[in-house]
Amino acid sequence: MAFTTRFAPSPTGYLHLGHAFSALFAAEAAGGGRFLLRIEDIDPARCRPAFTAAILEDLAWLGLTWAGEVREQSAHFAEYRAVLMALLARGLVYPCFCSRATIAREIAAAAVAPHAPDGAPLYPGTCRGLDAATRHARIAAGEPHAWRLDMARALGALDGPLGYEERGVGLVRCDPAGFGDVVLGRKDVPASYHLAVTHDDALQGVTLVTRGEDLRPATDLHRLLQALMGWPTPAYAHHPLLRDAAGRRLAKRDGVASLRSLRARGLTPAEVRRLARPTPAP
């Protein structure tokens, strides 16, 4: 079956074998449909244009071609802000003025400190109850603020259960409640990974989202955002992560060999493609 798929790396370093596997997986999963490339560079502190250029070059060297223009998220903040404002108009997001330190202090003082499915500590809800006048006054005074989803209200706005089709598995039911009042718009930029990824998948007509299984928990939240915004439900294929000989997942921070260093050592694209496969379980 033909799908529109995408590879959506963040330009925070050079691509390694894990990325090559993910990109090849997405291109193959398109099944003759459209394979898109999107650069997820909303984080100004960690993303570098030089890494974006290197990603394009490395993927082309591997022999991958993508349909249409490469979408760079940092050029589209106005679109993400518009989504935040649409959710605000429906009372589904609220401004949060808390600093990381305040949140950490409140969590430390709490008797129980639950965590979201992605491991992040749950926001204790400090700013949820601020009245409209206080919110306006603090925003008007220029106080930095993030935008948080009001999870209880968001769940109340749904008109049915959430689920998605996982390829090869079938229907998976979603339960996003455990994410709590997650940040949808950061303090520094009016977007978050969750908001930008769901917005762009809808805008770009992605019909099959392929990505590592580490992002599987986030899919429950993404289905909630899609339902709230009336965006279509893509199918999903969460793939295993490439691991090193010791069974650890490959990560840039561990100095995993980049595609360009393998290339500099004289490996051919065909050899790198062969290496970019999960090792079968012993």
* CB 221, min distance to ligand GLU, A: 11
Tokens 């496969």 appear where?
277
Q: Which of residues 190-209 bind ligand GLU (CB under 6 A)?
A: 197
Whose Cβ is closer to ligand GLU: residue 35's or residue 94's?
35
Say whether residue 215 binds ligand GLU (CB under 6 A). Answer: yes
- Contact with ligand GLU (CB under 6 A): which of 16, 186, 211, 223? 211
H or E stretch covering 60: helix 49-62
Please choose, from the candidates 24, 34, 21, 7, the residue with its C-alpha nearest in 3D space to the C-alpha of residue 64. Answer: 24
* CB 196, min distance to ligand GLU, A: 9
Provide the Cα torsion 39, 99, 104, 174; round to 10°.
Answer: -40
Whose Cβ is closer to ligand GLU: residue 8's or residue 259's?
8
Site string for ligand GLU, 4-23 (x = CB under 6 A): ----xxx-------------
Helix axes 77-89, 193-203, angle to 10 degrees: 100
Can you tell me the distance from the alpha carbon of 270 to that of 61, in angstroms, rounded to the nearest whole number? 10
Residues 153 and 184: beta-carbon distance below 8 Å: no
* CB 37, min distance to ligand GLU, A: 12
Site string for ligand GLU, 28-67 (x = CB under 6 A): ------------x---------------------------
| DSSP code, position 6 | E
* CB 128, min distance to ligand GLU, A: 27
Residue 69 in tokens? 């223009």
* CB 82, min distance to ligand GLU, A: 21
Residues 38 and 200: beta-carbon distance below 8 Å: yes
Q: Which of 34, 76, 135, 252 is catalytic?
A: 252
Can you tell me the distance from the alpha carbon of 253 to that of 163, in angstroms, rounded to the nearest whole number? 34
- 187 catalytic residue (yes or no): no
Say whether residue 189 binds ligand GLU (CB under 6 A). Answer: no
Helix axes 49-62, 17-29, angle to 10 degrees: 60
| Positions that interact with ligand GLU (CB under 6 A) | 8-10, 40, 197, 211, 215
Active-site positions? 252
